[in-house]
Structure 1
Amino acid sequence: MFTTPIYDPKVIRDMQEIVPGLFLSGSQPSESRQYMQERGITHIIQVTDMPTPRFPGEFVYKLITVPDMDETNLIEHFADTYTFIHEAIAKGGKVLVHCMAGASRSVTVVCAYLMRTQNVSAGEALNTVQALRPIAEPNDGFMRQLMLYGDIGFDVSTNRTEYRRFLMASMAAQREMFGYIKDMTLASDPQNSPSGAAAATGAGTAGSMSAMQQRPLKCKKCRRALVARDSVIYHTPGQGQGAFEYRKRDATLHISEAVQSDISKIQPHAATVCQSYFIEPVEWIQELHGLEGKIACPKCDSKLGTFNWSGQQCSCGSWVTPAFSMHKGKVDG
């Protein structure tokens, strides 16, 4: 029988010093000037829906406006919060990180800092926090972002294939929830980046990759370079035509979960079963703020494929969300 854990109200109400100079709490301690001054707090990170400095001019604030939702992109703030905390402590200051309850958003920021400074996993960082603040429990989306943070070596950069895949899934979630995408991150146009648009990372050096894996996809009609190789998304084939008997809205492939872009890791028959290349959204694709549309060559206007932020089903049967597909008969790979 499941029982709800009983926590000491004082532990929930107070702030805890997770490592020297770094404190964690809910919003209540941040409302008391005296309480914070007694503990030597000099810097405050507010991670809430509507952060508002309670004592401007008396403490150094960093405000992060984010809701506590699985779909929220919090990883994009990890570099800034790390720098803010690191520099404050280096100068002898003490930092309080808080959200409303001190359970999810602020915990995620503190865990990210511990991961980078101590070179530990997301789970190890959370265990450290929970030992001092038992209610610490980031939502599932934040935990996935912490694990991604470790996977990309704490380098939150669009040069990282895995991070771009996360952003792609995040944009699709925004489009579905709100009907628009606030900040759209697009893969570079290889025509404008001779060195290869988004640089491949974590998949070996260029010298170890075959020529086929390095060259971009090109329009078969006019030979215009379209997509860098590491912006092509490969997936495990589904059940073929049988999978078309019903529409799988619980996608068989979510970009956020399937980040492989190395063709060598795909089953041998995938290339023949799948009739389209699935790609990241690229700069030259038009009308990307719409739910769906066509993908046409930016040079000769030849129709190459289609996109749909809600997903498309590949000819192999896999449901890909979001989906930006170009027919293999229209491009040279």
Structure 2
Amino acid sequence: MPSPNDHDRTSPPIDIDDDACWGSDAEDDEIPHDVTSLSPGCCSRFAALTGLDINEIKRELANAKKQQSSSAIDSSDDRRKPSLHLCHGPRSAFEGADHAHLEYIESKAMALSRIEGPDELYVGGIFALRRPKALEGKDIRCILSMIKYSFVDWQHGFEDKYIHLSVDVDDVDDEDILVHLSHAVTFIDRGLKGGDAPWPKGTVLPGSRRSREAGGEAEAKEEVKEGKGEVEEKLDPSKPGAVFVHCAMGKSRSVTAVVAFLLWKYPHRYGLTPSLLDPANSHRALDAETAHKAVEAALDWVRKTREIAEPNPGFMKQLELWVQMGMPADSHDAVEKHHIYQRWLWGREVEESAKLGKRPEWIRFEDQHADEKPDEKQGEPSKELRCKKCRRVLATKQFIVPHQPPGAKQTCPHHFIEPLSWMKPVLDEGELDGRLVCPNAKCGASIGRYAWQGFKCSCREWVCPAFSLGASKVDEVTVQATRTGGPGANGELRATGIRMPPGRQNL
């Protein structure tokens, strides 16, 4: 990550050695190219200096070139062409008109974008940290780094001016940022409101670091603080102030944290009811469509002042899960304990194992977590799948996976269900796929099949993992609710022979 130790942090230009623009191929670098292109030398050195991903730099340059082309005007019957320059040769690195293509990237990363609303909340890229006067002018007291970052190497006491939390996540689709959202939201809220509430684990307060020993090896130890700790008088952690959230470009990771905070604090603004945050409703998951619309609305809100905001697809999906979970931020492990997060983790385990051609290391039998399933309305009829040969109940409504692809002209010949404990003897064999048989020892009829890697059913929908009961092998039965309880009651589970969750009696 960039560190301005050797430079004047109050001035925007980036200065490195005079040979910064030398590429791996000097002849290529000597070819004139438009200012939105990138020579090998500029690309590698700028990426190394900023810590930005090379592909991210190229995407931003492509956007700039597209904007330049659309805004070009006709002159003497010829469309104005972009100015050309040589990247080869000694020069002051990345400065002046010759490097307008890199200044464009720098301006994106250095911008401090205030989120519209009553909160003094800012989002941006890592280069904004090179503007300490701008940070002070906006009364920024807390900095949330959604990358692995530390101020311990900074000179002139910069590390003692801010309350800092670093969250080590990569900007890739399969990164688990969901588990960090409660910490990020708590940090932002604590910084904006002030007070004496504890900071999230990992927060570094001013004055909590040990200075480096002169002449020795760098050995700066950061103390993990959850309370107030030893603090210099110039910054009181109990006072409210502005919060700055950043990543590398201020586009994906930092925006994800800000969107999570907005959804948590202002659910009504994005079409969500406040009751969603009620802990009493923690087992009721919001539908996926509503969650998707809420996340899109919150992202559009951020784009009002941060137009490049664009979390990667994996982070967008995790934000939707965050909403479906009810945005839990009441404890440090609120996300980890949530059943939606646990199911999501298991799904990732299954997916990764399937890619390697093996079954997952652990199996989540859903009937062992029946008390985590969303509550069903009392008095409504339920549905059961029974073995056609012996009438043994194989699955109840809460364990049947909805499966009716849009546009399907005929009923699918499969009933997909979640893995249940009666499958354990077969699944313990460790095969990647196989047959499912009726758990009734006196029956043993073949009733379906399973495939950890998934399979495409006849209606052309891919299901992974797939636990299928053949429609010709089972009967679908409607069961009327009883006065003693609606669908999913303990009596119904016992009748199926499905295992009770831990702590609940098997009869």
Q: TM-score by structure 1 length?
A: 0.64
Counterpart-to-counterpart distance in 2, 1:30 and 1:117: 26
How many angstroms does 1:101 deviate by?
1.4
Counterpart-to-counterpart distance in 1, 2:465 and 2:124: 37
The residue aligned with 1:189 is 367
How many angstroms does 1:66 deviate by?
3.1
The structure 2 residue matched to 1:22, chosen from 111, 115, 121, is 121
For residues 65 and 8 of structure 1, do their structure 2 counterparts lie closer, same or farther at Cα, with a shift above 3 Å needed? closer
Residues 206-239 of structure 1: CA distance to partner in whole angstroms, max 9, x if unpaired? 3043133xx687998795x875632321212599
Count matched residues. Answer: 288
Residue correspondence of structure 1 range 34-183 to structure 2 within 5 A: 36=135, 39-48=138-147, 51-55=148-152, 58=160, 59-91=162-194, 92-119=240-267, 120=270, 121-150=294-323, 153-154=326-327, 158=338, 170-175=348-353
The alignment partner of 2:398 has SS state of helix
C-alpha contact 2:143 2:244 (8 A) present in aligned 1: yes
The alignment partner of 2:304 has SS state of helix
The residue aligned with 1:274 is 413
The AA in structure 2 aligned to 1:13 is M
Counterpart-to-counterpart distance in 1, 2:130 and 2:430: 41
Counterpart-to-counterpart distance in 2, 1:219 and 1:89: 62
Identical counterparts, % of pairs? 26
The alignment partner of 1:78 has SS state of helix
How many angstroms does 1:77 deviate by?
3.3
The AA in structure 1 aligned to 2:109 is I
| Structure ranking higher in strand proportion | 1
The alignment partner of 2:66 has SS state of coil
How many angstroms does 1:291 deviate by?
4.8
126-135 vs 32-41, greater mean Cα deviation: 32-41
How many angstroms does 1:13 deviate by?
1.3
The alignment partner of 1:207 has SS state of coil
How many angstroms does 1:110 deviate by?
0.8
127-136 vs 104-113, greater mean Cα deviation: 127-136
Counterpart-to-counterpart distance in 2, 1:80 and 1:216: 43
For residues 311 and 16 of structure 1, do their structure 2 counterparts lie closer, same or farther at Cα, with a shift above 3 Å needed? same
The residue aligned with 2:74 is none
How many angstroms does 1:290 deviate by?
7.0
For residues 188 and 233 of structure 1, do their structure 2 counterparts lie closer, same or farther at Cα, with a shift above 3 Å needed? closer
Residue correspondence of structure 1 range 318-333 to structure 2 within 5 A: 318-327=461-470, 329=473
The residue aligned with 2:374 is 200
- Which structure has more relative contact order (CA 8 Å, sep 6+)? It is 1
**Ranges in structure 2 where 5+ consecutive residues have no aligned partner:** 1-62, 69-103, 154-158, 195-239, 271-293, 329-334, 478-507
Q: Does 1:12 align with 2:103?
A: no
The AA in structure 2 aligned to 1:107 is V
The AA in structure 2 aligned to 1:234 is P
The alignment partner of 1:206 has SS state of coil
C-alpha contact 2:121 2:243 (8 A) present in aligned 1: yes
The AA in structure 1 aligned to 2:304 is A
C-alpha contact 1:46 1:99 (8 A) present in aligned 2: yes
Counterpart-to-counterpart distance in 1, 2:429 and 2:309: 38
The residue aligned with 1:251 is none
For residues 237 and 101 of structure 1, do their structure 2 counterparts lie closer, same or farther at Cα, with a shift above 3 Å needed? closer
C-alpha contact 2:387 2:475 (8 A) present in aligned 1: yes
C-alpha contact 1:292 1:307 (8 A) present in aligned 2: yes
For residues 126 and 318 of structure 1, do their structure 2 counterparts lie closer, same or farther at Cα, with a shift above 3 Å needed? closer
Q: Which has the larger radius of gyration?
A: 2
Residues 47-87 of structure 1: CA distance to partner in whole angstroms, max 9, x if unpaired? 33xx1333497454444333323343433433332222222
The AA in structure 2 aligned to 1:280 is E
Counterpart-to-counterpart distance in 2, 1:172 and 1:65: 24
Please provide the CA RMSD for this pair.
4.6
The AA in structure 2 aligned to 1:15 is L
The AA in structure 2 aligned to 1:206 is K
15-24 vs 302-311, greater mean Cα deviation: 302-311
